[in-house]
Amino acid sequence: DTEVTQTPKHLVMGMTNKKSLKCEQHMGHRAMYWYKQKAKKPPELMFVYSYEKLSINESVPSRFSPECPNSSLLNLHLHALQPEDSALYLCASSQPGQSYEQYFGPGTRLTVT
């Protein structure tokens, strides 16, 4: 099974809402990633978790809060977002220490109104 799942597929939220994006993989990968992708642009890395510890934070605003509760799950908590945060949010996983692909989920399309 080489699948990364993400829920929800679509999310519309107001600027005062709190919501969470969820990502799950059962490939035994110990590195998980959040990327943000704007229309017609490549994905940009936000966070990397390696062995459930945050290893990279690409200076992401604090209104985005990642969480890795276990080796299979990755959450992205959203609070007080801005309309410019509307984008496709992609989760990926890989196995650190070996040259394996990063596998991507289908993404969550987020719209902030």
Partner 1 sequence: KQEVTQIPAALSVPEGENLVLNCSFTDSAIYNLQWFRQDPGKGLTSLLLIQSSQREQTSGRLNASLDKSSGRSTLYIAASQPGDSATYLCAVEETSGSRLTFGEGTQLTVNP
Binding site for partner 1 (CB under 8 A): 4, 6, 31, 41-43, 45, 48, 50, 55-56, 58, 88, 90, 92, 94, 96-107, 109
- Our CB check for partner 1 shows the closer of 21 and 90 to be 90
Rounded to the nearest whole angstrom, what is the least distance from the CB of residue 84 to partner 1 in the complex? Answer: 19
Rounded to the nearest whole angstrom, what is the least distance from the CB of residue 43 to partner 1 in the complex? Answer: 6
Rounded to the nearest whole angstrom, what is the least distance from the CB of residue 105 to partner 1 in the complex? Answer: 5
Return all residues near 70 (Cβ < 8 A) that are at least 6 apart.
52
Distance CA 42, CA 53 (A): 25
Q: Output the DSSP codes for 32-55.
A: EEEEEE-TTS--EEEEEEETTEEE
Distance CA 103, CA 112 (A): 27
- Our CB check for partner 1 shows the closer of 39 and 62 to be 39
